[in-house]
Amino acid sequence: MSDEAGEPDDLHEYTALEQWQLLQNGDVSPVELTTAYLERIERLNGTVGAFITVTADAALERARSVQDELPKSAPLWGLPLGDKDLWNRRGVPTHFGSRARGRTAGFSDDIVRQLDAAGAISLGKTSTPEFGLSCYTEPRVGPVARNPWQLGLGTGGSSGGAAAAVAAGLLPFAPGSDGGGSVRIPAAACGLVGLKPGRGLVPAGQELAAPDGLAVVGPLARTVADAALLLDGMIARRPDGTIDHRYAVRAPGGDEPFLATAVRGELGDGTKRFQLGVMTSSAWDAEYEIATSPEASAAVDAAVRTLADLGHGIEETGLEPDPNFGPAFRALWASFPATIPFTPEELALTEPLTQWLVKLGSEQTGAEVTMAHYLLRNFERRMIEQLASFDAVITPTLALTPRPLGWFDDVDIAHNFEQQCQYTPFTSMVNVSGLPAITVPVYQTEAGADAPAGLPMGVQLIGRPGGEATLLALAAQLERRVRWRFRHPPVW
């Protein structure tokens, strides 16, 4: 990395927070930073498939507007990012990851407008699977998202394009949405930090009106501080910096910016000792055969050793088996695409997974969907009760190493759904519970029969309701010991 801050050929090597500091100090301008990233996207997007749409002219126009008209006090002033291809931005095509539903909207979604208000600069749309329905990003409408650590592997999903962009240095950080793990899964697969906020913290993008109530928006980033910086930009705040609770679905309190906690890596006076649970059981254990790979177990072991060395209490825990979770979650997941008003011609253009879910959802009665809601709300209550004695609970983020492209069955879709649950059994239960969770990379694989050397593996920390600050503090402590920010994939 060059010693001269702000040179366009090395700006991507700075963290998002460092880039923000360069912008604030006038060492680089929003136009210069945007130009540097657009040049990098032009050079590498064909390799990793991170963006389905690049809006270079609009990005430069926006950068000039931010530079000349927006005050530097905006929390994300001048920082580039990408919109997930499930979100509408006025005048930009939204494909929803599908050949059946492309459109150019005349409006922008709430999360897009919030990020604009925070001073961010969108460089385009990041790739996503069709309607965000899968945990892998191999859409037929656009580029397959390839893992920068090994291009023959996938990035996870559904924020897979965002993860590829950040891991390959095409963006300093990126927003994603998470309805069943869609921020944490690709973050873990690509060696990134991914934060799913608790239900209600981020009003923009909060899917409370959706039939499932599972989805929230959250950041993907290379460092914990960068994730906290983007999270702060997602939250509407008053001029004095406090959260504008008129738009949040949670009680006032804890208004200190999350970035401050992440930078300190501590809470209070720094002597706080947390009580941590370690859990390798999942809500899917009663439905499918779930096996945690040696690599996933090694990541948990590494995190536990580190946190124990830091003085935190460690205790094994687990979830009580719930045979209702799997069928209820599947029923609820299928109810979303079943409400999309496809014409027969449009449905024929959708992918096999979407068609399978539409059929499954359409065959359900209203009473069956209502019962699925009821069963999952019961699961939510019990999960929160079972984990209530811990400040945070450690699990693997993924049960397996990043999956090869084409690994998920495209013929037997019931098997495809089972594969997705076996790959990601620890994430969707957190969406059902509404709890916050963060994934942080802690381990790289060694060469073995089932995985090549050097792949990133992360652990998930599940927090209490409103426990985002605790998660950021713990993740920052892990990050400092592991020193992950200095590791980069071959595509860098």
Rg, Å, the chain Cα set = 21
Q: Is 73 designated active site?
A: no
Contact of 258 with 231, CB cutoff 8 Å: yes
Q: Is the peptide bond before 158 cis (omega within 30 degrees of 0)?
A: yes
Nearest-angstrom CA–CA distance, 175 and 162: 7
Catalytic residue among 158, 177, 335, 428: 158
Q: Is 272 designated active site?
A: no
Catalytic residue among 98, 182, 335, 428: 182
Nearest-angstrom CA–CA distance, 431 and 212: 10
Q: Is 182 designated active site?
A: yes
Residue positions annotated with a catalytic role: 84, 158, 182
